[in-house]
Structure 1
Amino acid sequence: MHFGDDTAARLLARSVNEFGAAVALKYPHQFGYFATLPDVAGSVAEAAYALDVLGADGVVVESNHHGIYLGDPRFEPLWAELDRRGALVFVHPTSPPNAEAVSLGRPRPMLEFLFDTARSAADLVLAGVLLRHPRIRWVLTHAGGVLPLLADRMDMFRTAFGSGFGSAESDSPTVLSQLAGVWYDMAGTPFPRQVPAFEAAFGTSRLVYGSDYCWTPAAAALNQIASIDAAPPPPGYPTWRDLTTANARRLLAGGDR
C-alpha cells in the first residue's frame, strides 16, 4: 500500500490493519485477516506489529510493486524477517508494468493477473528466494495462474542456460518441486480445466479455497462454488470442500513449512 509517500503509507497501513484486527476480534468465528504493508523499511516494523500485537494471520503483498518483482534484493530484509517468524505471505496479482500496452484494452484481471502471478512466482524461484527463506508459507491465487503450464519450461531454461536462471546444479531442487512447496487458492475458474492441470503439476496437498469476492460479483462466486461441488472428488476426500478445509486448517496452523 503505497502512493508515493512513505510516511503516509505507514499511517494508512496501520489504520487498515487496526481496523482488520478489530473486525476479527469482534467476529472471531467469521473473520481473520492479512496485514497490509507499506514501504519495504516500514514493512518490517508493520509486519511485526500486525503479527505480534494485532494477531494477523499473515501479510499480503502484490505480485509486483511499481514494476519491482518479489525476487528483487530490495525485499530481502522483509523476507528474512517473515522467514524468521514462519509467516504466511499471501500474494495477489496486480497489473504488470506497461499494462495498457499489453492488455490491449481488455480487462487486466482476465489475462494479465494470471501471467503476473506466474512472473512473480518465477522471480521468487529463479532469484533463490524460496530456497533462502523456506519457512515462509507463500500463498498464490488463482491456482498459480499459468504456472502449471510453464514450470517444466522454466526448469528447462534453468538447467540448459544456468547463469541468471537460478541454481543449475543437478542436485538442486527443480522448479517444479519448489513450486509444489507453495500454497495456492482456487479463486477464479478452477473447473473444469484449471484445477486438473494444477493437480497434474503440483498435487492438491497445498490447495485451499478462494472466492475473489467481493471483486468477483456474488453471482459469479456462487457459480464458481457450484462448479467445484459438481467436479469429480479429489483423491482421498469425498469432496473438494473436505480437501480444501483440511488444507486450510493445516496452513493456518503453520504446518508443512
Structure 2
Amino acid sequence: MSSSSPVPPDLPPPLLHARSAALWWGLGLLALVGASFWSLDLQWAAFFAPQALSAMGRFVGEFFPPDLSAPFVAKVAAATLETLAMSAWGTLLAAVAGLVLAVPAARRETGPESGLDGGRPWVRWPTRWLLNALRAVPELVWAALLLISAGLGPLAGTLALAVHTSGVLGRLFAEALENAPPGPAQALRLQGVGRWVVLAYATLPQVLPQLLSYTLYRWENNIRAAAVLGVVGAGGLGQLLAFHMGLFQMPRTATIVGAMLALVALVDGLSYLCRRSMTR
C-alpha cells in the first residue's frame, strides 16, 4: 500500500525572477516614470535658483497678515457655507443617481437570484459606458458646460459635482454589489421572493456600510472640488478666491485659503468619525 506525498501548493515565483509578473509591471512603471521626466523637461535648476526662491519668498510674504476685518470674515463665512452646501447636495444627488445606475451596471455570476440584472448584458454594458462617460469628464468641464444653462452661481457647481460623482460612485457601488455574498439572496429567491425585494432585504443591507464609506470619501473630495469650481463662476469660496487673487489682494486671498483649509479639515474629521462609527 503506497502512500502518495501531498502535492505542494503552487506558490508565486520570487519577485526577482523572470516569471514574476510584479517584476515586469514594476519595471514598466519605472520606465514610464523615467520617460515622463524626460518628456516634461523639468527645469529643476531654475526652480531652485536663488532668484526664484527670493521671488517666491516675497510672494508668500504678501499673504501676511490675513484680512480679518469683520465684514470680510462674514463674507468668507457665507461663501464657506455655500461651498459646504454645494458639496453636500452634489454628493447626495450623486449617491442616489449612482445607486440607481449601479443596479443595472452590476454583474453577478449567480444571475437573477441576487436581485440584479446580471443576465442582461444589453442593459449592463450601456450603463457601464454611461458611468465611464460621466466620470471621464472633470468637474471643472462639467461646470463650464452647465454654466450655459444654469447660469453663474452655485447651481452649476452643484450639478457639476453631482454628474461627475455619479459616475464615480456608480462604478464603486456596482463593484460592491457584485462582491456581496450571494447566500442570503439565494435563500430568499428559493422562497419565491421577487428580485427587487431580494435586492432591498438581502443584497443592499450587506453592502450598505461600504456604500456609505464610499459616499463619505467622495464628499471629502467634493469639498476640494467645490472650492475649485468657483474659479469658473460656480459660486462658493472658489469664486471669491478667483476674484480677490485676480486683483492681487493677497491678505484677503490668505483669509480665503485659510477658510478652505479649515473646511477641508472639518469635513475630513467628520467623515473619519462617521466611518469609524460604522466599523464598530
TM-score with structure 1 length normalisation? Answer: 0.29
Q: Which has the higher strand share?
A: 1
Higher Rg = 2
TM-score with structure 2 length normalisation? Answer: 0.27
Q: Which has the higher helix share?
A: 2
Q: Which has the higher contact order (CA 8 A, sep 6+)?
A: 2
